[in-house]
Amino acid sequence: MEYSTLQSLRYAYQPKVPKMLRAGVREISVSEGKATESASDEERIRELFPKTFGQKELYFGSKGKKLKVQKQVVGVILSGGQAPGGHNVIAGLYDALKETDPDSILLGFKGGPSGLLEDNYITLTADTISKYRNTGGFDMIGSGRTKLETEEQFMVVGEVAKKHGMNAIVIIGGDDSNTNAAVLAEYFAEHEIPCQVIGCPKTIDGDLKNDDIETSFGFDTATKTYSELIGNIMRDANSAKKYWHFIKLMGRSASHIALECALQTHPNICLISEEIEKNGTNLNTIADTIADSVVKRAAQGFNFGVVIIPEGLIEFVPEVKKLIEEINETLAKFGERFSMLPSWDERLGFLTASLSVESMKVFNMLPLDIQEQLLMDRDPHGNVQVSKIETEKLLSKIVANRLQELKQEGKYSGKFNYLHHFFGYEGRAAFPSNFDADYCYSLGYTACLLINAGCTGYMSYVKNLASGVDEWAAGGMPITKMMDIERRGGKDKPVIRKALVDLGGKPFKEFSRHRAKWASETCFHYPGAIQYFGPEELADATTITLRLEAEE
């Protein structure tokens, strides 16, 4: 006997699309806006992207010039970590290509950018797509973190494009992947390779956000998934009444996930990395803030609570940030030599000679396990792998020491038992929410429109997302508009500027308004599981962050 499951029911879900896209590819027109500049460092960005810098904003709708409709051969890759909705980007792209011309071909390159370099692909068909519509994960074609950054790589990709007669490549990824898309588009334009490059904004971290990208896809689903888990832990804590839970959440470069989950669940403490950096807050002061909540709650008989910690917090604590920057620079210059040192003492000696006195003091005050984690192999961008730094354990240890001091001073008599959690993979491949399923389908559809419009070096976007789907608006923005120069691996490189939590924005202000009460009282909120069916105000709801930002 066969039973209906969420998986089987999701295959049949028909993503809602904006009213402006319902006319179909052949009836949609494109209009131009003004020429664009870069986020900053304009002279440098213009110099690096002479062929694609300064292109105009594009809008799709009923006005403007009709799109060129002809057979297309397009390659698509998923790049970087998983984000819910990636399959629907491919589905929207596929459907729009087949509307353009039934003979259009979509090649899915397997394993991310390496699939392009190795010419490892499958031809995507209606049958293939049907098995992955509205599902999470990237298992349709897989993903990878290979960077497309060298001229040799670009030459290989150009040859692969030429071999298959591809007129466009769509790169579905985050800020680094889309930076690579911009560089590849510039290379193709400079060498007159007739292959367009289009990007789509993906990352659950929420830091690929600006005036044009209101939210990256996957953020909605991931934060709802994490909030369900946090709510479950809160319910357990409120039942057992004996544990403090230190929960680290994904979000390396920004605290958007932590802030959204705090707005949804009302934890006792939520640390916002951007605020800590702005205020110059050190580790001991952070621990004192948590300890103060523990003491106040213990006085009421509440020896339990929840602390939310952003994954990248450690890099925002001023003295630790300086330490990490110095370590990154040192390993960028002497990494091979450093890795060959056989003993810990020799490594410490090397660091002592390379780091400033202030940074070495900070390094020496950290527990040995945290020291070791700071010296692990860097990621492909030359940065410390913050997901492997157990910040939640570091803070709980410092808090425990502080509480012991207060107990000896007669200022605290409660119990402090703690548990640690890290939520990351749990949210990256979840079934996309209705919002992400709809949003991603429209992003893929719009990517095809940009191809038909003859664009390259553009990112697909869908705006007005806090309104109903009918009111969403689609268009394209030159990727160079989002770029500036950043220090990476000891070198200055062009990158898409990451969006940090706006401390003057409405979401953070809403959090700030309540956090003193949450710190001492039990105000836990239990969001429950993502709803895919039922009233629109529940099943199609966007994040609290997006709704509050739309009110500004």
pLDDT tens track for 475-487:
999 999 999 998 7
How many angstroms separate the CA atoms of 272 and 69, rounded? 48
72 within some domain:
yes
| CA–CA separation, 152 and 81 (whole Å) | 25
Q: What is the pLDDT of residues 423-432, one digit of tens each?
A: 999 999 999 9
At 532, the pLDDT band (50, 70, 90 cuts) reads very high
User: What distance in Å separates the CA atoms of residue 232 and residue 528, rounded to the nearest whole number?
Assistant: 8
Is residue 496 domain-resident? no
Active site positions, annotated: 205
On whether both 532 and 478 belong to a single domain, the answer is no
Residue 1 confidence (pLDDT): 42
Within 174-218, residue ranges assigned H as helices are: 175-190
pLDDT tops 50 at residue 542: yes
- Given this model, what pLDDT does residue 386 score? 62
**Residue 381: pLDDT over 70:** no
Q: Within this chain, do residues 225 and 214 fall inside the same structural domain, yes or no?
A: no
Span 107-120, pLDDT tens digits: 999 999 999 999 99
Clarify whether residues 513 and 454 are in a common domain: no
Q: Is residue 194 part of a domain?
A: yes
Judged by DSSP in three states, 461 sits in: strand
Q: Render pLDDT for 339-350 as a digit per residue (tens, 0 to 9).
A: 888 888 888 888
pLDDT for the residue 492: 86
Q: Are residues 295 and 186 part of one domain?
A: no
Which range has the top average pLDDT, 357-361, 385-389, 491-495, 526-530? 526-530
Once rounded to an integer, what is the mean pLDDT over residues 124-140? 97
Amino acid at 202: K
Which is it for strands 269-270 and 244-249: parallel, antiparallel or unpaired?
unpaired
Q: Within a domain: residue 126?
A: yes
Q: Is residue 1 part of a domain?
A: no
Query: Domain end: 458, 488, 518, which one?
Result: 488
* Mean of per-residue pLDDT scores for the chain: 93
Pairing of strands 143-144, 244-249: unpaired
Residues 203-225, mean pLDDT to the nearest whole number:
96
If asked whether residues 330 and 405 sit together in one domain, one would say: yes
pLDDT tens digits, 386-414: 667 789 998 999 999 999 999 999 999 99
Q: Which of 53-57, 239-243, 376-380, 389-393 has the lowest mean pLDDT?
A: 376-380
Overall average pLDDT of the 39-48 stretch:
95
Region 61-74: what's the mean pLDDT?
93
Instruction: Say if 499 falls within a structural domain.
Output: no
CB environment 151-183: b (16+ within 10 A), e (fewer): eebbebbbebbeebebbbbbbbbbbbbbbbbbb
Do residues 19 and 131 share a domain? yes
pLDDT of residue 385: 66
pLDDT level of residue 361 (50, 70, 90 thresholds) = confident
Tell me the per-residue pLDDT of 148-187, one tens digit each, with 9 for 90 and over: 989 999 999 999 999 999 999 999 999 999 999 999 999 9
pLDDT at 4 over 80: no
Label the pairing between strands 29-35 and 65-66.
antiparallel
Q: Structural domain of residue 459, as residue ranges?
A: 6-218+432-488
Q: How many domains does the chain have?
A: 2
| Same-domain check for residues 423 and 448 | no
- Whether 450 is in a domain gets the answer yes
Chain Cα centroid distance, residue 392: 21
CB atoms within 10 A of CB 361: 12
pLDDT interval class at 238 (50, 70, 90): very high
Query: Domain with 49 in it: what CATH number?
Result: 3.40.50.450
pLDDT tier at 330, thresholds 50, 70, 90: confident
What percentage of the chain has pLDDT greater than the value 90? 80
Structure tokens at 105: 């071909």
